[in-house]
Structure 1
Amino acid sequence: MNIETLEKRVCELEHLVFGPTKSVKRLTTEHEKNLVDQLYELYSAMSVAEKRPVSSKLLSRINEIQKYTDPNFMEDDTLLAKSKIEIILAQRDRIEKIGSDLEKISKLRDCLNHPAFGEISTLKQKFEDLRMVHNDQYVMSEKLIADTQALLDTYHNLIRDTSKLFIYWNQRALATGSSVESSDS
């Protein structure tokens, strides 16, 4: 692209921005000024321009405007469309699966929109209370299980000791009975 084409585009942009009656003043002594002075003047002009509503809108869209001034804009856009097509074709199976899933969901719409499901959010506190009761009951049941296990162990030990005593007394009674019979004979 040559300089004349760029100048023509800039003039066209100036015409669109400033209107047909206002012309843009160009400084002839621009090269004679110090770079810092030029930057300060540019900053001052930008801050003044930002206060105007039209200029502030324009400055907020500067990236979009720069995109349109790019000579390869349409080529990039075409390239993006080709890339989009390739991406869509590469994800075809996934897109079809998502489509079928969405169809299934739309078939279940009546069920999902049932008023009972709308009340779920209001029941959150009740569910939380029930969860707390469940946790308390779970702790109590574990304590009861531990107490029951201790009682069963005590019962088992008592029965074992009682059985040993019965065996001991049975053996003693038999021994006493056999010693009485042997002394009688």
Structure 2
Amino acid sequence: MKKALNEYIKQYVHLSKNETEAIEKILTHKKIHKKELVAETGKACTKVLFIEKGYFRFFHLDTNGNEITSDFYFAPSFITSYTSFITGEPSFVNVQAMVDMEVLEFQRSELYELYSLYPAIERLGRLIAEEVAITSERHLFLLLNQTAEIRYKTLLKKNPEYVNTIPLQYIASYLGITKETLSRMRKSIR
């Protein structure tokens, strides 16, 4: 798993042996179970996870208590409630594992200490944060400007290995349509 993390990091920066070892020292290997929440609405999120395989669902509850899926994050990736992690404020979203998986976990305080000691690690954090911002902006653009069918096709194109394993109600919620409409749409696309 550390090898996968190192390969992922190389997409952004080249770290020295000392920098790589510093990151490895703060890692905790954990098992996450399907449906487990790694961030919860109303609680500050103080950790970030690296996932090699699997995916997470981001959701919140509307005023009627219905779950609204706002996004999915697929491996390989870093996962957290980003706003809560950065600000230290309570999370607006729940982050839920969609499959059993193994992850590498960093604590916020330890990661920020590495930022102060190693400019390359701080740069890595900035570059990953920039990617999160770009992904969020693209997602918002799709949500506001594209039909549910185009958003579904985009999701399918980017993550075909996972889309067929996501329960219909979560995809429908993500697209802002009913399960029945999603079923009809999927049949017409096939």
**TM-score (norm. length: structure 1):** 0.20
Q: Which has the larger radius of gyration?
A: 1
Tell which has more relative contact order, 1 or 2 (C-alpha 8 A, sep 6+). 2
Greater strand share, 1 or 2? 2
